[in-house]
Chains A and B, each alone.
Chain A
Amino acid sequence: MAAVGVSRGFGLGRPGWPAKLNVVRTVFLARIRIISRYKGAILMEALLPIVFAAMPVLLGTSVAGGNPAEAFCNTLVRGGGLVIPPGETCIQNYPNFGNYKLYMLIGASTFTVVSIMMWLIGYWVRREQETGTLESLALAPARRIWILAGVTSYAFVRAMIAFVIAILLGSLVFQVNPFEQGVAPALAFLALGLLPLWGLSFMFGAFIMRIKEADSVIQVLQWVLAFLMGVFYPLTLLPPLMQGIAGLFPPTVMTDAIRASILNITYFYGSAYGSVAVLFAMALVTPLLGYELFEVTERRLRRREGVGHY
């Protein structure tokens, strides 16, 4: 009955690196195309951290009265176990520790990077479930890791665009200079911190895929994340147990290290080397755990109602 020379299709056997990278590239470009068709989305996203940072800056100014920089410096110095000689001001001894505006701006900007990376994966999974495209992806022979790599690359680019615009515009708005010192190590910390963040976003995607709801989870986690990351305050203000928990959260370590290198203030893990070691360990473990969790969740769904169930 079969005609001679029936096509065998494509993708049988093990696809090579060009085919795998082509999947990453195609998924990445498709996401970029899609977001570019929602006018103004990226710009609005970039403005968010400036507004987000402006609130605590204004609050700090109103609470601290005439000298918020001195008040902030005192908090950081005491938290870091440093000493101010009697009769001298904090700013005189630790001039870098009073730059509360840049501290808030960096915190808000890295928070934006973290939330974009995580929420985009969460919303991506949910939306794909709802529109049926997740099932279409599951039907294709392309491995999930390459599809996820495409989506996370897109999330990374979006996060970086928002980060750069926020830092540049924010510097103008708050009259601060983020490029005076420690820019190179800060970028290295950002790059290193993105690897565990990649893994966390897989975990979050798996969670959303499992519970089939994104909005309410993101609403809650947004604040938990900001709290754990110490976006607007030094972690030393938290009780010891909370400090321990926050210190195990990769975005917290990344934000702390970026701030410490740019502002030349104390590191949560004592030194830049301490932060590098912790971030490096997290970068090794978290992506593997995240991908494994994503695969386990998908397999569980396939055993139960199927990935297309929404």
Chain B
Amino acid sequence: MESIIRVDKLSKSFTTKERKKGQKRKRTVQALKDVDLVVYEGENFGLLGPNGAGKTTLIKCLTTLLLPSEGTAWVNGYNIHKQEDSVRASLGCMLMGDRGLYWKLTGRENLDYFGALYHVPRDVRRKRIGELIDLLKLDEYADRTVETYSSGQKMLVAFAKALINDAPILFFDEPTVTMDVPTARELRRIVRSLNKDQGKTIVYTTHLMHEAEELCDRVAIIDRGEIIALGTPNDLKASLVREDVVQLEGVFPARTVDRLRATPGVRDVVVKAEGNGRTTLAVVCDNSRLLLPRIIEAVSGNGASLEYIKPQEVTLEDVFIAKTGRSLAIDTREVVKEAGKGGGGRG
């Protein structure tokens, strides 16, 4: 297989200004650290990670929206520093959700506008717009101004915009984020078809594990600017087969997590969700069948109330938990903040 995207030691740091108690302070944030990556031609490649992990920064560097601080990359054989226009011509991108459309133009006019900016000849453009309207079932509202659309409709037009130039590489940054369930499912079907039937290379970022598992041939898990795992979803999950995950729901006193962690055979415990006094814990252990009595014992007493126990199949989220000690549901930026206070995640 030939590589179509090659990333070589790509780093990106930002200087941000913090304003606290009337004082301004500059702070450097390392958004990407020495990222090396290869995406192969015709691959559906997933970039996974929580908010703030560096997924969008990586995509922005690859699409020439951001200049990396160090390192470089080649997209479709073109260097992102030296051949920017050719890189852009090789890509179809949906990076900003429903933003990036002209609200006073109709959906059709938007597609025509961006088609011209991608140098799609007028007659081809007209035909292509018709095809996209049919494919995404936009005909009901394609001739209304975008300002009258729902969020989901805007997302679909933004998706169509990414396809207008029929590019060999497509970048989708959380494309289903504001869509209802049936529309999101239909969009995933189209993404699959673009990859399998038309041979397009797709880079798909998401924090929804089921999307990645459903769509991607390979995934890279990115956290705090670094790729911490890379492989097919099955390989990544297989790397954890010797571990079980048990999900516990209920009301647990503060020390429950420590008691669980101290239980022999328990590898890690992660707080997955909290609300209304109830907590969901994911317990990663060697053998759940054997350990279950000890787990129940550890969470019992001291005012705890165990309401539900569910052994889980290994998911990509479990891979993330195993690699970082945190749940994907938790915003990385929050974890960084907590870590600064001396608590928080392990990774």
Residues of chain A touching chain B, judged by Cβ–Cβ distance below 8 Å, are 1-13, 15, 19, 22-23, 25-27, 30, 33-34, 37-38, 131-133, 135-143, 147, 299, 302-308
Task: Indicate which residue in B42, B93, B99 contacts A131 across the interface (CB closer than 8 Å).
Answer: B99
Task: Indicate which residue in B100, B118, B161, B196 contacts A141 across the interface (CB closer than 8 Å).
Answer: B118
Chain B nearest CB from A120 CB (Å) reads 15
Chain A nearest CB from B333 CB (Å) reads 16
Instruction: Judge whether B168 and A6 touch: CB under 8 Å.
Output: yes
Please give me the residue from chain A that is nearest to B41 by CB atom: A2
Considering only residues 71-93 of chain B, those with a C-beta below 8 Å from chain A are 85-86, 88-93
Instruction: Judge whether A136 and B65 touch: CB under 8 Å.
Output: no
Instruction: Judge whether A147 and B104 touch: CB under 8 Å.
Output: no
Interface extent on B, as a size class?
A: 35 or more
Stretch at the interface among B105-113, B256-264, B288-296, B319-327: B105-113
Considering only residues 172-211 of chain B, those with a C-beta below 8 Å from chain A are 196-201
Q: For residue B254, which residues in chain A have a CB less than 8 angstroms away from its CB?
A: none
Instruction: Judge whether B66 and A30 touch: CB under 8 Å.
Output: no
Instruction: Judge whether B102 and A131 touch: CB under 8 Å.
Output: yes
Instruction: Judge whether A299 and B119 touch: CB under 8 Å.
Output: no
28 CB-based A-B contacts, threshold 8 Å: A1-B40, A1-B199, A4-B199, A6-B168, A7-B166, A8-B168, A9-B91, A9-B118, A10-B118, A11-B85, A11-B119, A22-B122, A26-B112, A26-B117, A33-B104, A34-B105, A38-B104, A131-B99, A132-B99, A133-B99, A136-B96, A136-B114, A138-B64, A141-B118, A141-B119, A142-B118, A147-B117, A308-B96
Chain A nearest CB from B37 CB (Å) reads 17
Please give me the residue from chain A that is nearest to B145 by CB atom: A37
Chain B nearest CB from A153 CB (Å) reads 14
Q: Which of the listed residues B86, B88, B196 has the most CB atoms from chain A within 10 Å of its own CB?
A: B88
Please give me the residue from chain B that is nearest to A130 by CB atom: B99
Instruction: Judge whether B89 and A9 touch: CB under 8 Å.
Output: yes
Majority DSSP secondary structure for residues of A touching B = loop
Instruction: Judge whether B199 and A6 touch: CB under 8 Å.
Output: yes
Q: For residue B63, which residues in chain A have a CB less than 8 angstroms away from its CB?
A: 139
Chain B nearest CB from A19 CB (Å) reads 5
Cα-based distance from A11 to B43 in the complex (angstroms): 23
Q: For residue B196, which residues in chain A have a CB less than 8 angstroms away from its CB?
A: 3
Chain A nearest CB from B247 CB (Å) reads 36
Chain B nearest CB from A42 CB (Å) reads 14
Q: For residue B145, which residues in chain A have a CB less than 8 angstroms away from its CB?
A: 37
Q: For residue A132, which residues in chain B have a CB less than 8 angstroms away from its CB?
A: 96, 99-101
Chain B nearest CB from A151 CB (Å) reads 12
Please give me the residue from chain B that is nearest to A303 by CB atom: B67
Q: Which of the listed residues A25, A30, A37 has the most CB atoms from chain B within 10 Å of its own CB?
A: A30
Cα-based distance from A143 to B64 in the complex (angstroms): 13
Instruction: Judge whether B92 and A6 touch: CB under 8 Å.
Output: no
Please give me the residue from chain B that is nearest to A38 by CB atom: B104
Cα-based distance from A2 to B118 in the complex (angstroms): 23
Q: A1-B40, A8-B90, A299-B67 are in contact. List 4 more A-B contacts (CB 8 A).
A: A7-B200, A12-B89, A27-B113, A138-B65
Task: Indicate which residue in B41, B101, B114, B200 contacts A140 across the interface (CB closer than 8 Å).
Answer: B114
Q: For residue A22, which residues in chain B have a CB less than 8 angstroms away from its CB?
A: 116, 119, 122
Instruction: Judge whether A26 and B102 touch: CB under 8 Å.
Output: no
Q: For residue B86, which residues in chain A have a CB less than 8 angstroms away from its CB?
A: 12-13, 141
Chain A nearest CB from B144 CB (Å) reads 12
Assuming A22-B116, A26-B113, A135-B65, is B167 touching A34 (CB within 8 A)? no
Instruction: Judge whether B119 and A10 touch: CB under 8 Å.
Output: yes
Cα-based distance from A7 to B120 in the complex (angstroms): 13
Q: Which of the listed residues A2, A139, A143 has the most CB atoms from chain B within 10 Å of its own CB?
A: A139
Instruction: Judge whether A7 and B168 touch: CB under 8 Å.
Output: yes
